[in-house]
Amino acid sequence: MSDLPGSLADFGPAALAAVVVAGYLVVGEPMVGHVLHRRFEGRLRTDPGARRSFYRRLLVLEWGLAVLALIVWLSAPGVDAGAVGLQWPQRWPGLLTSGVVLLVLFFVVASTRVLRSGALLEAAEPARRPGEGRHAEPSGAATLALLPRTAAERRLFTLVGVTAGVCEEWLYRGFFLAVVAALAGGLPTGVLVLVAAVAFGLAHAYQGRVGIVTTGVLGGVMAAVYLDTGSLLLPVVLHALIDLRFLLVPARALPAGRTA
């Protein structure tokens, strides 16, 4: 396990700021994500630049939060780089964690093949069952709407994927778990993994229940890898690769609805 802080006193004068930022990640980020996505969906109906604009907003928001958390950590005299995962891996992941990672990678490869085949095109079309609105959205539509279609969107999405790997691992694994450990010192690894999974799943609440569960599982896996190795390096690489795999999905395999 990484050398997490044992007490909130380790953060010194930055303790309050650390708690506020961590609290925002759990409570504020789901609300902000929901609002941003709803606005994005509204613009997507009429604005051909909606995705590019949304990607830029994500870049500003994630890097802004990451820098803020970095400043808070730099102001914490008793929390060294190892306590927030900013070091080279100290050991290999355990057998159980490695097995779970392999299962996740298998799922990622399988889901990418499904997306590339275009099998989700029909499922992603607005449902038209009796009693439902004309524009009822199927599960997963929010995620599919975010995927890039044009060359310009793909270039920006590449930055978004790398940013998600770096910033979200730093925020939700390195920084957030350090604050949680400081607030409730002595928590076992399993509880920390669960807390990380719940927080990360809630941050993606705009994706619906399936999205919350899927991203929650991924968040838990990344937390387990981080705590096993003591470093954010492997989680960052895995996270970025998982997001960047969507660049392998051709535009023809994605629903064309709700675009200008």
pLDDT tens track, the chain, 260 positions: 568 998 999 999 999 999 999 999 999 999 999 999 999 988 988 898 999 999 999 999 999 999 999 999 999 999 999 999 999 999 988 898 999 899 988 988 898 888 888 766 655 555 444 444 444 444 466 678 889 999 999 999 999 999 999 999 999 999 999 999 999 988 999 999 999 999 999 999 988 898 899 999 999 999 999 999 999 999 999 999 999 999 988 888 787 644 43
The confidence score (pLDDT) of residue 139 equals: 47
The confidence score (pLDDT) of residue 122 equals: 57
The confidence score (pLDDT) of residue 128 equals: 44
Tokens 């590019």: give the residue.
52
Cβ atoms of 92 and 229 closer than 8 Å? yes
Cβ atoms of 222 and 169 closer than 8 Å? yes
The confidence score (pLDDT) of residue 254 equals: 80
Cβ atoms of 38 and 50 closer than 8 Å? no
| Distances 235 to 99, 230, 240 between C-alpha atoms, Å | 15, 11, 8
Distance CA 214, CA 217 (A): 5
Distance CA 147, CA 247 (A): 8
The confidence score (pLDDT) of residue 125 equals: 54
Cβ atoms of 250 and 147 closer than 8 Å? no
Distance CA 153, CA 50 (A): 10
The vertex-122 CA angle with 219 and 252, nearest 5°, equals 80
Q: Report the Cα 172 to chain-centroid distance in Å.
A: 8
Tokens 């044992």: give the residue.
6
3: helix, coil or strand?
Answer: coil
